Structure 1
Amino acid sequence: MDSFTIPWPCLDSSAKKPNTDFPKPTTQKSFAEAVNNVCEIPASQLPQACVKGAELAITIPEKDYIAGMEACKHNLHGRIVWPKGATPLTVVALKDKLALLWKDLGRWGMLSLGKDYYEFAFSSLEDVRRVRSIASWSLNPGILKLFAWTKDFNPRTQQNCSAQVWVRFYGLSQEYWRQNILFAIASSIGTPICTDAATAKPLFERTFGQFVRVLVDMDLTQIIRYKVLVERQGFAFFVDLEYENLPDFCTNCNIIGHHLNNCKRIHANNENHATKEQGIVKKQARETKKTYVQTKDGRVDQSRSKFMDDGNENSGKAQEEDEDVIIVEERIN
């Protein structure tokens, strides 16, 4: 017998029964289960706080601090200089932009420290050298400047006083064009980062030999040297230094961005000092004015009126004496 299909599903006994299984309710996690980074160290093993003077003090475990220093050995600090009117990017957007520039690197990460400062963690020393070989990275908008990692870094107290500068070395013959020698000379003025492509070429491929070019991370609070004495066994000579695009640095504020001649703080202090000097001069140059104060009010004393006649000639003299005046010097404010 040929099978046929019943057009009315309600009469078909072989129709699939509806699924009556309801999803099981999810159990809510407890607070201890949700927070997986709770402190598991017994309170008895934690250091005890103490009061030193008026402040509370605590001593941290030195072993863990050393481990933290070891974990940061391939880290760098960086600062992004945003152009005026530009909207700063989020950390995720910055990382996406840098991922296109650093696509050949190994694993790396970044985090925001505040005040446009960032910290970068790299997986190898070679990656650190590669990213520092470029003085600044263009983010369009903004420029990322990387500098060496330092312990106890605090963005709130950080003053931007270091810069990566290309330095030219004049007076070096070809036997000195070796990386260890060049970096040794560059270390006298800062932290050497790399040489340019022309300097790094092998001797047979080198076509330029007028000067050496080394990228140096310089602390601008130090004295800028324009020559250095290079010594070897039995011989010494001077090497002239020339800096390319050395940024303006204010020795009064200890920050990069303006020169000492354009320091607003100095101009403000000079104006305040000039105002104070003008006030002192005005106070010293106060003029004196003579004022006349009447010693008597002109009224005749009653005791004297008994002995004076109306026609007495001395009455006129007595009246003149009553009108005597004295001179008093009074300063004008």
Structure 2
Amino acid sequence: VVEPPDEVFELGVKVWSNALVGYFVGKRIPFKIVKEHLEKKWRKWGAVSVITGDNGTFLFKFDNSAARDLVLSNGPWEVWGAYLALRLWEEGMSLSKDSFSSIPVWVKLANVPSELWTKQGLSYVASALGVPLCMDAATTSGNRLSFARVCIEM
């Protein structure tokens, strides 16, 4: 059994800390299409490296956490009509679809009373469906009050 020193692990964590892991729900999309499509969509926030993982998963490695977080909060994302399920990379995470015991899903909340139109209020409403992860930019800024988009883990 090989047991690398903590410094080796810490270096690896630093390398991957700004990454997202994802897969397309219900479809296999060719790597070249995923790379071209998402690099084009996401380049306004910074450079991203698209890396193929195991069994249809992808790693998206960003230059900084701000770009990574903007991609998460501005979803949902799709390629060729297939929804891209994304989650933050975590230390020790397996890069297979099997590691996704739950799935992040964007939901649209309509007819929310104005007194609940706060981050805490919308999170409370969304928690009836799953664990709230983030909200889109228009929801958090309050620029659109007709509906809220919240990403929840189901």
User: Above 0.5 in TM-score?
Assistant: yes
- Residue in structure 2 matched with residue 286 of structure 1 by the alignment: none
Asked if the contact 1:74/1:125 (under 8 Å) is kept, the reply is yes
1:133 equivalent to 2:77? Answer: no
Cα offset for 1:195? 4.0
1:71 equivalent to 2:15? Answer: yes
1:106 equivalent to 2:53? Answer: no
- Residue in structure 1 matched with residue 85 of structure 2 by the alignment: 145
Question: Which of 126, 129, 141 pairs up with 1:200?
Answer: 141
3-state secondary structure, aligned to 2:43 = coil
Asked if the contact 2:126/2:150 (under 8 Å) is kept, the reply is no
Asked if the contact 2:20/2:60 (under 8 Å) is kept, the reply is yes
- Encode CA deviations 1:171-225: one digit per residue, 9 max, x unaligned: 7544x5344x3476479542421146366336xxx664xxx6241231x3xxxxx
- Residue in structure 1 matched with residue 102 of structure 2 by the alignment: 161
Aligned pair count?
151
Cα offset for 1:137? 2.1
1:216 equivalent to 2:128? Answer: no
3-state secondary structure, aligned to 2:44 = coil
* Separation in structure 1 between the aligned mates of residue 148 and residue 23 of structure 2, nearest angstrom: 25
Cα offset for 1:106? 0.8
Change in Cα spacing, 1:194 to 1:171, as seen in structure 2 (3 Å) is closer
Cα offset for 1:103? 2.9
* Separation in structure 1 between the aligned mates of residue 76 and residue 58 of structure 2, nearest angstrom: 14
Mark the runs of 5 or more structure 1 residues left unpaired by the alignment: 1-56, 221-333
3-state secondary structure, aligned to 1:128 = helix
- Superposed CA RMSD: 3.2
* Separation in structure 1 between the aligned mates of residue 103 and residue 139 of structure 2, nearest angstrom: 26
Larger radius of gyration: 1
Change in Cα spacing, 1:168 to 1:81, as seen in structure 2 (3 Å) is closer
Counterpart AA for 1:192: L
Cα offset for 1:147? 1.6
- Residue in structure 2 matched with residue 94 of structure 1 by the alignment: 34
Cα offset for 1:121? 0.9
Scaled by the length of structure 2, the TM-score of the pair is: 0.74
Cα offset for 1:109? 0.6
Scaled by the length of structure 1, the TM-score of the pair is: 0.38
3-state secondary structure, aligned to 1:102 = helix
3-state secondary structure, aligned to 1:104 = helix
3-state secondary structure, aligned to 2:11 = helix
- Point out which structure has higher relative CO (alpha carbons under 8 A, 6+ apart): 2
Change in Cα spacing, 1:69 to 1:186, as seen in structure 2 (3 Å) is farther
Cα offset for 1:108? 1.3
